[in-house]
Every structure is written in C-alpha cells, then in structure tokens.
Structure 1
Amino acid sequence: MPKTKKSIVFCHGLWADGSCFSKLIVPLQAEGYECIAAQYGLNTTAEDVAAAKETIGRVSGPVILVGHSYGGSVITGAGTDDRVVGLVYIAALAPDADETSQTQQAKFPGTDVFSQIEVVDGRIWLRPEGTKYFCGDLSEEEQKLVWATQGAPKPDLFEAKVGGTAWKSKPSWYIVAKKDHTVHPDLERAMAERMGATTYEVASSHVPMLSQPGFVLDVIRKAAGA
C-alpha cells in the first residue's frame, strides 16, 4: 500500500531532549504518521545538525521537520536536505546565513530564564527555580520532570552558524508562545514574519508542546497536509 502521510522529525532545544515531544508523538503515531525525535548532545551546532539529518534517514520521505527553541536553529540547517518539504517552528530561533543563535537573540530584550542558569563542569544548567520561566504553566510535577531530564548545552553552542537557511526555500509554520520568558515573543514574531511563515499565537510558556499539545498538533497536521 503506498505511503500517503508525510513523516515527522522532531528537534529539541536546550534543557530538553526528545521526550519533550511525547505528547505529540503518541497521538500522531496513532493517526498513522511516522515520527521520530532526534537526540543530540548540545555540544556543537554542526554535530546537532548532522544528527538531525541522520535521524531524517530513519523515516520515509517526504519529511516535516519540527523544531522547538534552539531546535529551530537545528532545523534551519538540517532542513536544506532534499527529503524535507516543510518546517514547523515552536517558539524557536531561526538564524539567517550571517547570524548565530546568539546574535539573533541579542537583538531583542533579554529574558528572565537567563537569570536562573549556572555554568558547572563545562555545561549550562537550568536551576530548579528557573523552571517557572521555562515552563511555568505546567504542573509542579511536570516542571520537576522537565528539570530532571534537561539536556545541558556547552557554553559556546549558540556562537556557531547553522550551515543553511532552509526557511528561505521551504514552506514554514511558526507557533508564537505569547507568555514566553525564555525566547522573547517579539523575537518569535519577527522570525515568523521574516520567513513568511504561516503564523499562530498561543497563550503559553516556552513549551507549548507540553502545555498546549492539542494546539501544536493542529498546526503540525496542517503542515503535514499541505
């Protein structure tokens, strides 16, 4: 029987791993979508983009890439792959060719979460108190789980260019998190406008896929059906 549905590959951000998409993957799989989440070390952007491309190879094409937060930088680089036909950004970064994740953020006001981080043993860790700025609309139990499963990045992760600008050539959808205290909502709106994305706004913290999964699922379904 011929394949009719697009496959979906998820790319996570800082202080997260692929499990942050669990509320999306389970229902999408039930609907017949091939889904997989890229797991990478947050050591270098080049390694993370390469891991995303390798993960694309584990599902059938064509592929929709979904990136959250720094995962938006990852899909911006990895999305130039010919197997990718669309991009979904969730409260995400999306650097241009001459930008890095850091220079992009520097153009907008700093956010509260960065007052709750510390560098220890060569990694940037989110303090337990920082979850209120990262995922404060989740239950206390879920916030503790987010903290306990965080992926801590290398300090210079944001300094590298991503090696491609997929949103210049691929259809894009963007979810703005209006109550975000990690990536500034004005940055999100500016990125969505610049890439000409189909844009949606939701009253959410930085993690709409956990706090508003139904909303995010609807956007992914629209992207996958386009």
Structure 2
Amino acid sequence: MLPLAAAVLSVSASLLASTGAMAQDANQATTQATAPAKNIVLVHGAWVDGSGWKPVYDILKKDGYNVSIVQEPLSSLEDDVAATKRVLALQNGPTILVAHSYGGSVITEAGVAPNVVGLVYVAAHAPAVGEDESTLGKGMPSYTSKQPGAIVKTDDGYTYLNPADFPKDFAADLPHDEAVFEAHSQILTAAKVFSTPMTVAAWQTKPSWGIVAADDLIINPDLERWYYARAHSHTTVLKGASHSVYETRPKEVAAVIEDAAKHAQG
C-alpha cells in the first residue's frame, strides 16, 4: 500500500505542478495580451512638420512612453506612407499610430503594419478604400475650402495656405506670434496627396480613437464626426479647439493617446 500511496502522491504532485505551470503560462499570455502599448508614433499633416507635436511628445515621454515622430516629405501619399512605415519598422513591440489632419490618410494606409495595434485620429481624415479626402471634403466643405485665395497652388503642383489666412484658419487658439511663424515656415505640400485614393483602410480592422476639434476651419468638424462614427472610433470632442488642437490642447490629446495605448490590445 505504501508504494501505491507514494505513486499516487507523485502523480498528484506532477499534475498540480503541470496545472500550475499552465496557469502561469496563461496568466503571462493574458498579461502580454492586455499590457499597454509603450510605443507611440506621431504623424503630422499638410503644410507643417513634426515639431508641432512637441507639447504632446513631452507629456507622453514623461509618462514613460517611447515616442517617435515621422517627418514626411509631403511629396506624395506613397512617399509619406513609406516614411511612416520606415519609422514603424524601428519600433520594438506593439505601437499606437497617431495622426493629425492629412496624416489621417497616411496612417489609414500605413496602419496595416502588423505592429500597429491602435490608431488615433486628431482632427484628421479617415477615408475608406477607394476614397480620397479631397472628394469627401467637397461633400462637407470646410470654412477654408470656401474661402477664395486661402489655399494657393504653385505652378509645379504644390500647395500652401496663404500666410495671411493661416493664423485664423489653422491656428486661431495658438499664440499669434507662433501662428505667424508657422505660416512662414510651411512645408509646401503636393496637391495630389489630397486626391490619392486609399488602397487599404487600417481602421476597418484595428481599433481607433478620434478627436474632433469643434472649431476646426481646415476640416469640417462634422466630417470628422462622420469619419469617426463610421469607423466606430472612441470619440472625444474638444470644444473651442482649432485645427491646431494637437499644439493647443496637448493634455487632452495625450490623454486620448494614452487611453488607446492602454486599451487597444484589451
């Protein structure tokens, strides 16, 4: 009987150890699946560069995130997507991809990268496959698009926002001196980026968050709402915010990005 009892105890101990190991593995897998994404990639829009993200960057860095900023050439949608994918490839682990304005079209394409677990649209476009933001914008025109002479096109097909209109249209809630500087440091943007249709739409397969800038004059706030409703995005409306919401309301914008980082994999 003693050898039999010892054998039973041995088998029981083995089963318990095996069960314990399986539970530990399951807990580790669950923790990995629900752990916050620590990588954030920020994408700017037309006419500006990545430096406008600095207020948001500073908050995210302070909160422990690994933050990278894409500097797009703004020469074509393909070039801007490639620049974004290049930065995404440098990330180690799950990543939240964030964009402002035209950058929304860029992340809609680039966001299909396997390490992207969530998308954040900040006063941004989010077209579907076959759509382009220029055509969609005509359906819900913005204040700026109806303003004669506000958007200027060069002879070689690049665009910029009239410096006289830039402060009130793009950055009404930014300190005036900063808005004037941005108006005179614009990156001329190829007109074709606005009319290039999407070939993929990452928001159709990945969770998304959207910020509506309620006083946006560059993109109609109703178009932003429509985009986010269609994508079933977690939507935040920031009253009084201009198109420069990512610069003027960094705490609220960073909070939405961190919410995405915490819940995109949940």
Specify the TM-score bucket, using the shorter chain as the normaliser. over 0.9
2:55 paired residue number: 23
Q: Tell me by how many angstroms 1:120 deviates.
A: 2.5
2:67 paired residue number: 35
1:180 paired residue number: 216
Q: CA RMSD in A?
A: 1.6
- Aligned-partner residue type, residue 73 of structure 1: S
Sequence identity (%): 37
Kept in 1, the 8 Å contact 2:47–2:160? The answer is yes
In 2: Cα distance, 1:163 partner to 1:51 partner: 17
In 1: Cα distance, 2:52 partner to 2:107 partner: 16
Q: Secondary structure at the match of 2:189?
A: coil
Q: Does 1:78 align with 2:114?
A: no
1:125 paired residue number: 160
TM-score (norm. length: structure 2): 0.81
Kept in 2, the 8 Å contact 1:118–1:125? The answer is yes
In 1: Cα distance, 2:258 partner to 2:142 partner: 32
Kept in 2, the 8 Å contact 1:45–1:161? The answer is no
Q: Tell me by how many angstroms 1:162 deviates.
A: 3.0
Q: Which runs of 5+ in 1 are unaligned?
A: none
Q: Secondary structure at the match of 1:156?
A: helix
Q: Does 1:192 align with 2:228?
A: yes
Q: Does 1:207 align with 2:239?
A: no
Q: Tell me by how many angstroms 1:121 deviates.
A: 4.8
Q: 1:37-60 CA deviation, whole Å, 9 max, x = no partner?
A: 111111111111111111111222
Q: Tell me by how many angstroms 1:156 deviates.
A: 1.7
Deviates more, 1:23-32 or 1:170-179: 23-32
Residues 36 and 149 from structure 1, CA distance in 2 versus in 1: closer, same or farther, beyond 3 angstroms? Answer: farther
- Aligned-partner residue type, residue 61 of structure 1: G
Q: Tell me by how many angstroms 1:147 deviates.
A: 1.5
TM-score (norm. length: structure 1): 0.94
Kept in 1, the 8 Å contact 2:98–2:122? The answer is yes
Matched pairs, number: 225
Matches for 1:113-152 after TM superposition, within 5 Å: 115=148, 116-122=150-156, 123-131=158-166, 132-152=168-188
